[in-house]
Structure 1
Amino acid sequence: MIPPPQRSLYGLGLRRPHHADFLAGDVPVDFVEVISENFMVDGGRPAAVLAGVRQHHDVILHGVSMSLGTATGLDTAYLARLRQLADTVQPLWVSDHLAWTGIDGVNSHDLLPIPYSEEALAVVARNIDQAQAALGRPILVENPSTYLEFHSSTLAEWEFLTALVQRTGCGLLLDVNNIHVSAHNHGRDPLDWLDGLPWHAVRQLHLAGPSQGQDGLLIDTHDTPVPGRVWALYEEVRRRTGPVAVMIERDDDIPPLADLLAELDRARLGEAEAARP
């Protein structure tokens, strides 16, 4: 398993409107997280940007297409390209989602849900083992936002994640907003996740804002500021974690960099509040 950082780290996602700021090297963050697939290319502007940013900041590779829930095994060509990128960048770690993203070579470009069953657990654990062997390093797995549940599920999400950690030695990227979204959508208490998760395996936290969808659903859009309920849940999370990497995740309607840095300062304050008796 990936060892925890010696102190908590605070970072942002590397997004195009802020490339110049990060290349200048004066952004007060400990790391940047990049979408792996955007940089799995040979040369060109993306590679040059990442190489320049890497001179100033540690990097985390966060994927959206590994498809850990696929029943037919992972794409070996994809894993080879990701291994090449990771060997070049030497990231703090590599992460992806507890989801599947396509079938028969067609990428849906969406994070599709899986049933939380023993059969699915065996499939995902096998895929994580394949990924970690191909990459030559352990990975982090992120909990998803979900909008439906399967009748075939026999495990709670936190039980499924705990079993994956035990079987594969992977770590967890805990998306606090995703817990908020899933708990709201399924009428559950978000503290159920917090009481059931294997905290020794959590290495990173995501903070983001959802949008209101139809029929009362919350949608994980990453296009709004972090809302109050997610901040409150974050403080509960920090009472249970040791040092972790914390990131503000924004993928659309991207605000000025100063706004994101202000949210990151609030995340730092949340750690201090959680440490109070």
Structure 2
Amino acid sequence: MQNNFYGAGLGLRRDFLDDFISQVPDSINFMEVAPENWMTLGGRYHANFSRLAQQHKFVCHGLSLSIGSPDELDEKFVQQVKSFLDEYQILYYSEHLSFCSANGHMYDLMPIPFTNQAVDYVVARIQRVQDILQRPLVLENVSYYTPLSQEISEIEFTQSILKKSGALMLLDVNNVYVNSINHNYDAKNFIAAMPSEKIVYGHIAGHYNEADDLIVDTHGADVIEPVWQLLDYAYKTHGVFPTLLERDFNIPSVADLIKEMNRIHTIQAQHLEK
């Protein structure tokens, strides 16, 4: 199993495959894929991915597990994910602490109500997923835009799920920033409250300013300075963890993406030197 990775990562896109088969840039220490987009592919895509996976470190970040859904858990899908992870010796499979299905797929990530009942429900589903995967599930804090039923705070909700389920954490720094603006809370306070020992890796991304008090997490723009500063704070608080640059829309050249990734390397190096 690939139980050791570090540095800065980038999501692998099919458009990058041909170039990366020839040479993966040195700045990319690991890559991330959504298993849904790769585990059913055959032919050239399968062959090229297999070649890359033999030579480079990968993590998986899922799109459709829907861990908080009222629908029955899709155990057949989880088994397919396990087979993909096993085939390519990928240890970490992360998913969103949210849901995207309720009597059908909704094509959006919906937040789970911050209640004790929801904690218990989600924990049971996580534990079943982990039993099938034979790995800890890694959960990402998500951005959300609508008011929620809230009897406990988002911090308490996240802490409780991580503690009770045994799951690990993907700390998305941009999502923390987006929520801090949209819901008027202290981003540093949220980051500091997360359990250091649970954080496996992180995400950083750009977003879209819809209004002064409404930010949409698009992954379609450059990372802004306040988010870089939050990443620096996260490293200061929790130690340096592997961090992936997310870019899903308005995708620039690999060379331009590498420039942003090098900012991750720079901030990491500043903390590692201390």
TM-score normalised to structure 2 length: 0.93
Are positions 1:165 and 2:140 aligned together?
no
1:71-86 matched pairs, under 5 angstroms: 71-86=70-85
Q: Which amino acid aligns with 2:216?
A: I
Q: Residues 99, 78 of structure 1: CA spacing in aligned structure 2 closer, same or farther, 3 A cutoff?
A: same
Match of residue 117, structure 1, among 112, 115, 126? 115
Q: Secondary structure of the residue that 1:51 maps to in structure 2?
A: helix
Structure 1 unaligned residues grouped into runs of 5+:
none
**Distance in 1 separating the partners of 2:108 and 2:221:** 19
**Distance in 2 separating the partners of 1:31 and 1:275:** 19
**Distance in 1 separating the partners of 2:3 and 2:78:** 24
Q: Which amino acid aligns with 2:209?
A: Q
Tell me if the contact between 2:235 and 2:241 (Cα under 8 Å) persists in the aligned partners: no
Match of residue 142, structure 1, among 140, 151, 155? 140
**Distance in 2 separating the partners of 1:42 and 1:80:** 17
Q: Which residue number corresponds to residue 189 of structure 1?
A: 186
Q: How big is each residue's C-alpha offset from its partner over 1:166-212, in whole Å with a ceiling of 9 and x where there is no partner?
A: 11111100000000001110011101202211111001110100012
Q: Which 10-residue stretch deviates more, 76-85 or 153-162?
A: 153-162
1:81-100 matched pairs, under 5 angstroms: 81-100=80-99
CA RMSD of aligned residues (A): 2.0
Q: Which residue number corresponds to residue 21 of structure 1?
A: 19
**Distance in 1 separating the partners of 2:90 and 2:170:** 15
Q: How big is each residue's C-alpha offset from its partner over 1:10-54, in whole Å with a ceiling of 9 and x where there is no partner?
A: 211001322222222332122110011101215344422321221
Q: Which residue number corresponds to residue 265 of structure 2?
A: 268
User: What fraction of aligned residue pairs are identical, expressed as a percent?
Assistant: 33
**Distance in 1 separating the partners of 2:130 and 2:258:** 33
Q: Which residue number corresponds to residue 54 of structure 1?
A: 53
Q: Which 10-residue stretch deviates more, 51-60 or 178-187?
A: 51-60
Tell me if the contact between 1:102 and 1:108 (Cα under 8 Å) persists in the aligned partners: yes
Q: Which residue number corresponds to residue 153 of structure 1?
A: 150
Q: How big is each residue's C-alpha offset from its partner over 1:97-120, in whole Å with a ceiling of 9 and x where there is no partner?
A: 00101122x211211111111011
Q: Which amino acid aligns with 1:202?
A: I
Q: Which 10-residue stretch deviates more, 61-70 or 160-169?
A: 160-169
Q: Residues 272, 27 of structure 1: CA spacing in aligned structure 2 closer, same or farther, 3 A cutoff?
A: closer
Structure 2 unaligned residues grouped into runs of 5+:
none
Tell me if the contact between 2:7 and 2:265 (Cα under 8 Å) persists in the aligned partners: no
**Distance in 1 separating the partners of 2:216 and 2:128:** 31
**Distance in 2 separating the partners of 1:32 and 1:193:** 27
Count of aligned positions: 273
Q: Which residue number corresponds to residue 30 of structure 1?
A: 29
Tell me if the contact between 2:68 and 2:99 (Cα under 8 Å) persists in the aligned partners: yes
TM-score normalised to structure 1 length: 0.92
Q: How big is each residue's C-alpha offset from its partner over 1:44-65, in whole Å with a ceiling of 9 and x where there is no partner?
A: 4442232122132111111010
Tell me if the contact between 2:168 and 2:200 (Cα under 8 Å) persists in the aligned partners: yes
Q: Residues 111, 235 of structure 1: CA spacing in aligned structure 2 closer, same or farther, 3 A cutoff?
A: same
**Distance in 1 separating the partners of 2:133 and 2:267:** 34
Q: Which residue number corresponds to residue 257 of structure 1?
A: 254
Q: Secondary structure of the residue that 2:228 maps to in structure 1?
A: helix
Q: Which residue number corresponds to residue 40 of structure 1?
A: 39
Are positions 1:201 and 2:198 aligned together?
yes
